[in-house]
Structure 1
């Protein structure tokens, strides 16, 4: 993953990163603001050695420095804590008091700095005062031999009295929140990168390029109004979905300049990718240019083309195949676009056998010769073999994948099935693309122009009528 891809991952998954950061800040804030504020008081003690001879001064200094390390530990001793508790009548155990006292030796000196923490700043100062006083007398007792009347050679003198600090030292709100934010950023970025590495769904044109040399012919953005306005005839001429299908229509003209496709199978790897809506709107877009276009609903298991166009689904392909109606009577016309439609007809018990039959092959060949373009809406490739059967009859196949839902493994298996029957994959249409991800797909763009040089776009808006039978 290079730096550009890393930035793309951050942009794509910024919501999860922000969520982790906010979660980390929330946990830190909860812990910080529920803890009891602590205040501290500091005092300092200087250890000296009583020497008469100046030649012994250096040795005395080393001796005092070595002793200072030992006495820093004594400050936290149980016996000294008991003395302070008795002196102040504190309601705590020696161990509890010792845990609030800290002592350290100032580097290269015989100075001991004592720090006392407490919930109350004034109590912290008082405890620090008494601790230093008890410590100085305690040192004198330790350094005086038992029963001896001699004075101790080591003396502990208070150089800095216990300080008073009204500002809490813990918890440190700012520090805790900054650390939490940094941890949240690292965890969020790590999670985003991990999800990207483990994510097997199709999200960019590069993902498609990993699976096939066929191009991404178009990316169709997610449209929340697709249920109420499923067809291009329900939209304005400059709607984003309209432009996407115009682009798909135009790109089809440049797939094979020597052999222009006249029969296309549109399918998907698995159900729910939007292949019926794609095939229907592509057929509408082709019909709007004046091309004699027919769409065949060959999904005999879950037919939806007729209902999408507002036409009668009962009469169509199967009724013509069994001879209940003539083919020209089974074809309906969508009035708003002029598209010819061959619905699925009655659902048969053996769809694959019907599509494999010679009569079906002959029928599609006849229809192909009668129209400028025939679009076949086929079932998904992976669940059933129907699409593979139909793919052999067409010039090529377009696979519809759903952005961030269809996996690479599913698309790869679908392409393998097409290769097994010798079908040609013209390209891929990525459907339901989030707005922020539209730029992740790159495809050929050719501006449609009329003979006058103006853009061949129309802003006509017509409702999808119920249609009429072809005369």
Structure 2
């Protein structure tokens, strides 16, 4: 991953990074602001040796320095803490007070700095004053183990206990800064890890890894797809309209020597938006004046007719079994002039029906009667129907859903097409999210649409049709 790809990952995953930073800052804030503020008071004690001979001064200085480190350790002893508790009559144990007392020796000196923390600045100063006094007595007691003897080591208070009204703990600025840094590091690490483990289709390079077929178009995600699923519901300059115009135009350059007249539109798995893509592509072709027919060959979950507001009960299966003539089964979408052959009644054996010779002959006859025949087929991986239909058409277009369809699913779908000798014309990337603006797909002036999400349509009665049967 180079730096440019790293920036693209950050841009795509920025929301999760911000979320992690927010969580870490929230946790740090909760811990910080629920802690009791602590205040500190400092004092200093100087250790010296009583010598009158200057010859011994250097040795005395070394002796005092060595002793200073030892007594600094003893400043946090329970013995000293108990003396302070007894004098101040504190309501705590020696261990509790000892944890509040610390001492540090100034480097290369015999100067000891005592530090006492408490919940109140005045209390900290009071305890520090008594601790300092008891500390000097404690040193004297240790240096005079025998009664009547004199201590050569003298502890003198050089700085009385201070009164500091600024809290020393918790450090709000430091805690929040560390929380932000931790959140950023964890968020970026997770974002990069997720991207490296992500097997979904997101860029043109991902498609190129799987097939030489081009990306014919990308269709943006549209929250209004349920209320305006068709191109006839949109304005002429809507982004979704432009996307299908681009797809319609690119079809003209697929094979200049042999222009396709029949296309199978399918997907690897359900939910990729292949029905909406095939329907709107057929509408886009019909709007140019081309004699276009769309066949709803998804006999398991037919949706083309209901999407167009036509009667789904009469169509392909009713014509195949001889209940109606094919010209009576074809309906016309009045708003666009698109001819529609609905699925008809659901059969118990869809694959066998599509494999039959009568179905193959019918599709060949329809192909010769129209400028373009669009066949909406079931997904490739769950059933074999699309593979059967792919052999009857000039080529296939696979619809993949941006950020959801995986490379493995697309790869397996392409293998199934290759097994039956079908030609893959290209790939349509559907439901491209707005945040994918950094990818190679998204290039529209405005954001409108997932041409691809299946609309929720209720049952359509014959009298509610917006089209008519072809005479």
**TM-score, L = length of structure 2:** 0.93
Q: Counterpart in 1 of 2:454? A: none
1:461: which partner in 2? none
Tell me if structure 1 keeps the 8 A contact 2:8–2:438. no
* Distance in 2 between residues matched to 1:137 and 1:439, nearest whole Å: 73
Q: How does 1:356-435 map to 2 (within 5 A)?
A: 356-435=355-434
Match of 1:457 in 2: none
The equivalent residue for 2:72 is: 72
Give distance in 2, aligned partners of 1:436 and 1:120: 52
Aligned to 2:60: 60
What CA distance in whole angstroms lies between the structure 2 residues aligned with 1:253 and 1:48? 99
Kept in 2, the 8 Å contact 1:76–1:101? The answer is: yes
3-state SS of paired residue (2:258): coil
**Contact kept? 1:335, 1:466, Cα under 8 Å:** yes
Contact 2:220/2:442 (<8 A) preserved: no
The alpha carbon displacement at 1:441 in A equals 3.1
1:139-161 CA distance string (max 9 Å, x none) = 112112412x3421110011111
Residue of structure 1 equivalent to 2:222: 223
What is the alpha-carbon distance in structure 2 between the residues aligned to residue 441 and residue 363 of structure 1? 40
2:26 maps to 1:10: no
Deviations 1:371-396 (A, max 9, x none): 11110000000110000001011111
Q: Secondary structure at the match of 1:102?
A: strand
Distance 1:201 1:51 in 2: 83
Cα deviation, residue 443, structure 1: 9.1
Query: Does the 8 Å CA contact 1:219/1:438 hold for their aligned counterparts?
Result: no
Q: Distance in 2 between matches of 1:329 and 1:142?
A: 115
Alpha-carbon deviations, 1:314-366, whole Å to 9, x = none?
11111111122221121111111111111111111111111111111111111
CA contact (8 A) 1:43 1:115 kept: yes
Does the alignment pair 1:268 with 2:278?
no
Q: Would the aligned equivalents of 2:21 and 2:180 in 1 still touch at CA under 8 Å?
A: yes
The CA deviation string for residues 24-83 of structure 1, in whole angstroms up to 9 with x for no partner, is: 111111111111100000001110011222121111111111100100011111111111
Q: Which residues of structure 1 form unaligned runs of 5+?
A: 446-463
Segments of structure 2 that go 5 or more residues without pairing to the other structure are 445-463
Matched-pair contact (CA < 8 Å) for 1:37–1:169: yes
State the partner residue of 1:336.
Answer: 335
- How far has the Cα of 1:198 moved from its partner? 2.0
Matched with 2:310 is 311
* Cα separation, 2, equivalents of 1:363 and 1:76: 97
Which residue in 1 is equivalent to 2:101?
101
* Number of matched pairs: 452
- Give me the whole-angstrom Cα distance separating, in 1, the residues matched to 2:392 and 2:442: 27
Distance in 1 between residues matched to 2:98 and 2:255, nearest whole Å: 86
Please list, as runs of the form range in 1=range in 2, the aligned pairs for 1:235-314 lying within 5 A after superposition.
235-314=234-313
Instruction: Give the secondary structure class of the aligned counterpart of 1:426.
Output: strand
SS at match of 1:85: helix
Taking the aligned partners of 2:160 and 2:437, their CA distance within structure 1 comes to 69
Deviation at 1:98, TM superposition (A): 0.5
Equivalents in 1 of 2:335, 2:114: separation in Å?
Answer: 90
Change (3 A) 1:77 1:401: same
Over 3 Å counting, the alpha-carbon distance change for 1:183 and 1:438 in structure 2 is closer
